[in-house]
Chain A
Amino acid sequence: MADSLSVLLPRDAAVGEPRVQTKQALFEEHALACKEAVYAACLSLVRRRDEADDLFQETYLRAFRFFHQYTLGTNCRAWLLTIMYNVFRNRYPQRLRDQQTLDIERVTNEYEEKLFAEGDAERHDPAELFLARRVDREILEAIHTLPEEYRTTFLLVDMQDLTYEEAAAVLECPTGTVRSRLARARRALRAALEMYGREHGYLQDSSQPEPAAPQNVRKGTV
């Protein structure tokens, strides 16, 4: 009987038995408690806000429908992110998932060559300036320029704090792949942020003593 009951309610990892609580109450307590994190992940995964809204809703509707498959006491956020990633993959064809607008290889190489050439000279940190000024839209824009596999890996490990193993489970790839994708993602994002900083007036050339105040904060569209 316990097995048939588990069809209705998630299992409790600690005692191995379903808990006596309604599905909606449990869903509220576990799944909806992660809604901010999942919404932030949706916004990082797709560029347009209305699409992020849809992805968020579809993720939670599926999570509600299959909530009996969730094991209480395990990482609910990782479970929700797995659903989100599957919805994302099923909903968007590859060409739409790859929103890349930047030549990642070129930008990374240019940035790193400059970094090596500067040697031990003290330099201003563009990313730090971005974050200090909390230009979220610009950072999100930089994340969106990454190829899908780098973007998702960065999102899961760095923004959602999943372990490498948890991220590998979500992405259905080996842990070694997560490690190399994350390395490329961080290097590319670092370079992209530097480039965006210059394009949008947050940074001057590193030879100048003080960075410029923001001049042209772009009003993005959804």
Chain B
Amino acid sequence: MTCDAYRNLIAAHVDDNLTLIEREEAEEHLINCKNCLRLFADQQQFRQITRTWRGEASVPAYVEHRLRVAIEAGHSPLQNWWQELRAQFASLLQPAHGGLAVAAVVLLLMAVFPKDQVRPPTKEVRTEAQTVLDAATAYYRAVRTGELPLAYATNNPRELEDALKASERLNFSLYVPDLRLAGYELNGGIVVNIDGKPTVITVYQGAEGQIVCLRQQGMMPPPPKGARRLREQEYLDVRPGQTALYKQLPDQFRVIVTGLPPDTFH
């Protein structure tokens, strides 16, 4: 066995993952090659050390929150109900009379429920808007508490635009507005994935606190029930301690969130 051949197998030798023949050849090589023997000892020692290292263990709260919101949003109540019903009947149904059993269940359901209730309901209009708002809220909290540093920290809107474009992660053209005249200075931005879409989140600081601006490509989600229409494609949703402005731009929509309730940070 040559030194090159042995060094290609050295990890498997350290892990005792060689075939019997390979191990015999490897050990024979080590008897004759001091350098490879030294490398073997060095690698053995290194493996002992790396065995204890597993990297960062805890998932940040905002990441887990965002994931659970996304899973919840993609899990319709009807699907859940249907799955549970099918699972309940699983043990009773045999392949031979599966068809008959399904027909019986369908007939039973049609008899018990009026037609409108059996039909799958359309997805709740509130869900999508709430998902977006929840995501913005989660990011707002993470940025505010310092849990998530802004990947692009700059107060220059053009610089941020260039950095976001250079990331090559956006599927839409982006304009970062300069809100200094309105009393807000840019803190920076970040690109994340919300509901499967690349999303830009920018954070501004004003005298009355921070605002978070979220942008995605696509149609604006229907604003939550009770949102007030300000003008064409623009809605304002005001709740106690929380305000969200939904706005459709030519190739994207944006949601501006501000004045989140104090308990957001608890």
Contacts and interface: CB of A to CB of B under 8 A. Distances in A.
B91 A40 contact: no
Given A20-B88, A159-B54, A222 B151 contact: yes
Contacts of A125: 45, 49
Contacts of A1: 90, 93-95, 98, 101-102
Given A18-B87, A50-B148, A187-B43, A57 B66 contact: yes
Given A53-B148, A186-B11, 10 more contacts: A18-B87, A37-B54, A53-B60, A53-B66, A61-B70, A119-B38, A125-B45, A139-B55, A164-B17, A189-B46
Interface stretch (A21-29, A98-106, A208-216): A21-29
B231 to A, nearest CB: 33
16 contacts: A4-B98, A9-B87, A17-B90, A21-B87, A35-B59, A40-B54, A49-B148, A49-B151, A53-B60, A53-B148, A64-B71, A116-B34, A179-B8, A179-B11, A179-B17, A186-B14
Contacts, number: 168
Interface in A8-50: 8-9, 17-18, 20-24, 27, 35-37, 39-41, 43-44, 48-50
Given A18-B90, A40-B57, A187 B74 contact: no
A173 interface: no
Classify chain B's interface size: 35 or more
Nearest to A54: B193
B221 to A, nearest CB: 18
Interface of A: 1-2, 4-5, 8-9, 17-18, 20-24, 27, 35-37, 39-41, 43-44, 48-50, 53-54, 56-58, 60-61, 64-65, 96, 112, 115-116, 119, 125, 127-128, 131, 136, 139-140, 158-159, 164, 179-180, 182-187, 189-190, 221-222
Interface of B: 7-12, 14-15, 17, 34-35, 38-39, 42-43, 45-47, 49-60, 63-64, 66-67, 70-71, 74-75, 80, 83-84, 86-88, 90-91, 93-95, 98, 101-102, 148-149, 151, 168, 190-193, 196
B63 A57 contact: yes
Contacts of A185: 11
Contact of A20 (B54, B60, B91, B102): B91
A53 B54 contact: no
A3 to B, nearest CB: 8
Contacts of A119: 38
A56 B59 CA distance: 10
B149 A159 contact: no
A178 to B, nearest CB: 9
Which of A5, A39, A57, A136 is the most central at the interface, judged by chain B CB atoms within 10 Å of its CB?
A57
B57 A36 contact: yes
Contacts of B71: 24, 27, 60-61, 64
A162 B58 CA distance: 20
Nearest to A1: B98
Contacts of A17: 90
